[in-house]
Structure 1
């Protein structure tokens, strides 16, 4: 990752933070990137070999039918999708998925279209996982079949501290965790993609 690019992003982040603080003090508004209430399905991001974006769902998910990744640019309150990466399972019953690296098609999936945009050019990476059918893990969790499970990663926040957390995973709105620490997050209402409690 080029140092100049990271510095530009950090400069933009500082300016936006200052503006956001002023607006919050003036209007008593909530932070736009605050975590939603209730249990949240969230995985972790890591910088892989050659600067590739790597995402971990938090656990192996069976029956994944479709994967959709959007690279989003933010301009104030406006958002624009720069590029979309779509993958579909080769089997009607879906395929198992636990790790996803941008531009690397996971086993059991077919690429619908290739990414044309470098992920680091985006402000936000949105990841959507669609299941083929309901999956109920042994621990009592549930993989919802009728709605995609989504997560987002702020690129600026992720890159700001990535060099200081080798081997750890970045969870949006939560911070950096080892795999062992991540598994303890269920007590704090954060769950792997396919293990959200049935009654949540």
Structure 2
């Protein structure tokens, strides 16, 4: 079985590849010759994942999946949510995004947050959605140098280290994307 993972984010690709069993060949957008920016113009995380997967299926013909992830901060009414990648502007700079979150939470005692990943799968003419959520909190400062995005300021419930301080294996086991991918893999394993 082969599937396209509709992402240009090499960090996401690496993270997901480590979770996919060997009998599923994962192709990147580069592998199928997709060099254009896949549209992400929806106003929900689910909508963006669906839009990306449908785009690849329609324009390239491959069974595929796409994900969208957002950090939802309670005290910020769920922001940045669907706008997580460009929270501090269209330059999509992780450091700028982190600094904006920390500034917006400067005098806030409620630092509860969650990461939410939705995977949309286009498979054998049908669409399936898989959701992974990881609850936690935003730290006061950045900690760690692993991971990407908001990882240096997010601690999962029950952990005293940020996602940027734990191994990729541990992050995949407890994290939002790992949970969503586990559901995807369970589904694909049943299709054989």
In the superposition, the TM-score normalised over structure 2's length comes to: 0.35
Structure with greater contact order relative to length (CA < 8 Å, sep ≥ 6): 1
Structure (1 or 2) with the larger CA radius of gyration: 1
In the superposition, the TM-score normalised over structure 1's length comes to: 0.34
Which is richer in helix? Answer: 2
